[in-house]
Amino acid sequence: MARKPRIHFPAALYHVMLRGNAGQDIFFEDADRYRFYLLLQEGVERFGHRIHAYCLMSNHIHLAIQVGEVPLSRIMQNIAFRYTRWINWRRNSSGHLFQGRFKAVLVDGDSYVMELTRYIHLNPVRAGMVRSPEEYPWSGHRAYLGSESIPWLTSDWVLARKFVELGKDDGHRPEFHSGREVDSRLLGDDAFIERILEQTEGKPSRQITLKEIIATVCREYEISEKDFTTPGRCRYPSEARGTAARLILETGCGTIAELGKLTGRDPTTLSRVARHLQTKTTTDSSVAERWKKLLTELT
């Protein structure tokens, strides 16, 4: 059976779960967790979403993310790609770090946001790692208590200590992982689910293709697709290929490997040029304007 598309609309709240490939660890030392913190912060600044709760376990991650205009898939693909690259560099390894695509349940924030936040922050307690959630250093609970400052965490929902303690004996809550039986993508009452499906069914998000990315980039740089794929070190085709690589990373449409095969370029080189252009976006207004124009045209 075909997998249902993810549901997206501005202000949607998701419980996101990202697991290590074959159950393997994804954090090996504190530096890895701090790097993931940095990626979360950069994601909030770049994509305009909010993170209301998080917990970094040894082999999986829980997040409560409220999106803006940018779809959740684009946010998570960017984080997963960049963190995998970090781990492979740190450990001199290669290959996949995460288990397939992330899992996400769209939650009725009005009814479940406090329970979801509590549930996420109590993960280490349920796993028997600590007795109280404030003992675990890699979740947002201590920020909610006011004993730690996490600038990228939106903690304006105040969770009383007693409310959190009352949830310690709840155990596993399958609805936070698999949604409702009527639609595993959603968690809420019947009215919420009916309203969301009415708003979104029959309105699939437009799928951007690699061919469309290349055509758009070639028009912007005023080069032919033959120049785009032909070997050479001319600045414009090279920069255009790097821009296409960055668009692939940002939109999650296609892969750098596919672009490398099409252009005869090493995917590592394409990724390096994409990172260089990302840095230039913050210092060169003309590059920033071109980037904004390309994203707008595509999305």
Tell me the percentage of the chain whose pLDDT exceeds 90. 31
Per-residue model confidence (pLDDT) at position 7? 77
Q: Which amino acid belongs to residue 36?
A: F
How does the average pLDDT of the chain come out, rounded?
A: 82
Highest mean pLDDT among 65-69, 137-141, 144-148: 137-141
- Residue 75's nearest CA partner among 103, 102, 47 is 47
Residue 189's pLDDT band, with cuts at 50, 70 and 90, is low
pLDDT digits 0-9 by tens, 225-261: 888 887 665 667 888 888 888 888 777 667 788 888 8
- Residue 209 burial by Cβ neighbours in a 10 Å radius (0-12, 13-18, 19+): exposed
DSSP of the chain: -PPPPPP--TT-EEEEEEEBGGG--S--SHHHHHHHHHHHHHHHHHH--EEEEEEE-SSEEEEEEE--SS-HHHHHHHHHHHHHHHHHHHTT--S--B-SS-EEEEE-HHHHHHHHHHHHHTHHHHTTS-SSGGG-TTBSHHHHHTSS--TTB---S---HHHHHHTTT----THHHH-BTTBTTEES-HHHHHHHHHHHTT-PPPPPPHHHHHHHHHHHHT--HHHHHS----HHHHHHHHHHHHHHHHH--S-HHHHHHHHT--HHHHHHHHHHHHHHHTT-HHHHHHHHHHHHHH-
pLDDT digits 0-9 by tens, 261-288: 888 888 888 888 887 887 787 778 888 8
Does residue 294 register a pLDDT over 80? yes
pLDDT digits 0-9 by tens, 168-179: 667 667 666 655
Q: How far apart are CA 252 and CA 224, in angstroms?
A: 24
Phi, psi of 167 (to 5 degrees): -90, -5
pTM of the predicted model over 0.75: no
Please answer whether residues 242 and 208 qualify as being in contact, where contact means their C-beta atoms are separated by less than 8 angstroms. no
Residue 1's pLDDT band, with cuts at 50, 70 and 90, is very low
Per-residue model confidence (pLDDT) at position 123? 92
Per-residue model confidence (pLDDT) at position 27? 97
Quick one: average pLDDT of 216-220?
89
Per-residue model confidence (pLDDT) at position 105? 87
Domains and CATH numbers, the chain: 13-200 (3.30.70.1290), 210-298 (1.10.1750.10)
Q: How far apart are CA 249 and CA 243, in angstroms?
A: 10
Using only C-alpha atoms, the chain has a radius of gyration, in whole angstroms, of: 21
Per-residue model confidence (pLDDT) at position 103? 87
Please answer whether residues 180 and 106 qualify as being in contact, where contact means their C-beta atoms are separated by less than 8 angstroms. no
Q: How far apart are CA 227 and CA 234, in angstroms?
A: 9
